[in-house]
Structure 1
C-alpha cells in the first residue's frame, strides 16, 4: 500500500513522512487510516464513541481534537450526516488526518481543520453544528505518567486545552438542541457533569464501560443536549472482555467483526 501511495503522491517530504507511518484497515466500507508507527494512534475509546453517537440525516458534525481523524471518518461511514469536520491543533497530526481523508476519497464530506479548540468559536460560525464529538485528553496536570513524546502527551494530558474549553466551545457552536457526544474517564464524572450543566449542555444519556464483568468502570460515554431539561438515562453497562484477550460479543459487533466462539 505504501508503494501505491508513493505513485499517487509526488511530494518528496510526504513520501519521507510515510516511511514512519502505517496504514490500518478500519473494517468498514473499505476505509483505511494513516497512523504513525511510533506516535499517537487511535484506541478503542474512539471506536466506542463513534458507535454511541447518533447523527440525523443531513446533520453537520464537528469533532474537537480529532487527532488522526478517526472519528469523522468512522462517523461518515456509519451515519447519514452531510458534513464532518475535525479540528486538530497539532500540525503534523492535522496534515496526516487530511491525507487519510484523501486516501478514502472523502474530500467532499470530510474536512480536517488545523486550529485550537480555544479558538473554535472564532474558526466556525456559532450555532452551526447539529452534533459535536470529542475524545479529549483525560488527565489533569501531573496526574498519571506523562509521555515523553509531545504528540502523545498532548493527546492524553490537558496540556493545550481543558475540558472546560471543550464544553464552552460546544455551547457556542451547537445549534439549540444540538448534541455533544464524548468519552471520558469515570473518575472525572462529577467534574464533567458539573461543567456541562454550567454551560447549558444537559447530560441526557450515559453508558459506563467496564473492562470485565464485576470490575469498576474506567470510562463512560455521554450524550448532552444544548438547552434541554434535566433528566438522564443510564444505559446498561458495556463490558469489554469476557475473558483475557477475548472481547465480548458486543465489542466484536461494534468493530464489525464476526463474533468469536467462546
Structure 2
C-alpha cells in the first residue's frame, strides 16, 4: 500500500491497519499538546497522531500502544523513520491491562466507535470490541497527572454519553470542537478535551470542506504544516 507523505514524515500503511484519515489528522492538529511533556496515545494505528503531536511539541516524549500486533509494528516503523524517533516509543499492548508508575500530561485517542457492525473491515480499529468508552475513560483517569488532559475525537452521537461517563470519573469538559463535513451539514464529529481541574470552557465549530472535495480555509490553515497540498 502506498505510503502517505506529510511535510516532515511519512506514514507507511497496511491493509490490516486503519489508514490515515481525516479524524486522526484533525485530532493530531488540534489536541492541546503545547504544555505536555509526556504523552500517551491509546490505539496508535499507523502512529499518525503521535507523529503530528511530536512535530507540534518538540519537547514532549511519546508512548503509543495498540492491541493490534500489526498496528504496533507499523507504528514502530513509522516512529523509527521519522525525525522525532528519539522521543517516540511504542508497545504492543492492551490498554485495559497496561500498568505503569508513570503519569502522563496528555492521553490522546481516536477510539473505536462502532458498537455493532457486520463488516469485518478494520474490525478492531472501528468497533468497540476491544476497548469501550468506559474502559478508556476509567483507565485514563488513573494514568493522567493532576493537570493532565484527555483528548479524543468521537462521533457526535456518542458525545453526551461520553461526557457523562467522564464526569462520573472526575473529569471536567474544558474544550469542545463541533466538526462538520460542510457548512450546511449536521455536526458529525466532536473533539472533546477533559481535565481534573476547573478551567474556562471553550466551544467552537470547525468545517472541513467549503464545497465537495474543496477544503475550507480553516482546514487548510490548521493542516498547512502537515499536508502536502497539490497546487
For residues 95 and 53 of structure 1, the distance between their equivalents in structure 2, rounded to whole angstroms, comes to 24
For residues 46 and 139 of structure 2, the distance between their equivalents in structure 1, rounded to whole angstroms, comes to 20
For residues 154 and 135 of structure 1, the distance between their equivalents in structure 2, rounded to whole angstroms, comes to 12
Contact 1:82 1:109 in 2 (8 A): yes
Q: 1:37 to 1:92 in 2, by over 3 A?
A: closer
Bigger share in helix? 1
Give the counterpart of 1:46 among 24, 33, 36: 24
Could you say which residue in structure 1 is the equivalent of 2:206? 238
For 1:1-262, list aligned pairs within 5 A.
21-27=1-7, 29=8, 31-37=9-15, 39-56=17-34, 59-120=37-98, 122=99, 124-125=100-101, 128-140=103-115, 142=116, 145-149=117-121, 152-225=122-195, 227-229=196-198, 232-235=201-204, 237-256=205-224
For residues 85 and 24 of structure 1, the distance between their equivalents in structure 2, rounded to whole angstroms, comes to 22
1:94-118, Cα deviation, whole Å (9 max, x unpaired): 0111011111253320011110111
1:46-74, Cα deviation, whole Å (9 max, x unpaired): 11111211224561100011111111111
Structure 1 unaligned blocks of 5 or more: 1-20
TM-score scaled to structure 2, two decimals?
0.92
For residues 65 and 166 of structure 2, the distance between their equivalents in structure 1, rounded to whole angstroms, comes to 20
| Greater RCO, CA 8 A, separation 6+ | 2
SS of the equivalent of 1:215 reads coil
The answer to which of 33-42 and 80-89 deviates more is 33-42
1:142-189, Cα deviation, whole Å (9 max, x unpaired): 2xx44223xx01111100110111101210110001111110000111
SS of the equivalent of 2:2 reads strand
The answer to which of 87-96 and 249-258 deviates more is 249-258
SS of the equivalent of 2:97 reads helix
Structure 2 unaligned blocks of 5 or more: none
Paired residues in the alignment total 229
What is the Cα deviation at residue 39 of structure 1? 4.5
For residues 118 and 151 of structure 2, the distance between their equivalents in structure 1, rounded to whole angstroms, comes to 26
For residues 58 and 162 of structure 1, the distance between their equivalents in structure 2, rounded to whole angstroms, comes to 25
Q: 1:216 to 1:198 in 2, by over 3 A?
A: same
TM-score scaled to structure 1, two decimals?
0.81
Contact 1:32 1:104 in 2 (8 A): yes
Q: 1:138 to 1:58 in 2, by over 3 A?
A: closer
**Radius of gyration: which is bigger?**
1
Q: 1:242 to 1:105 in 2, by over 3 A?
A: closer
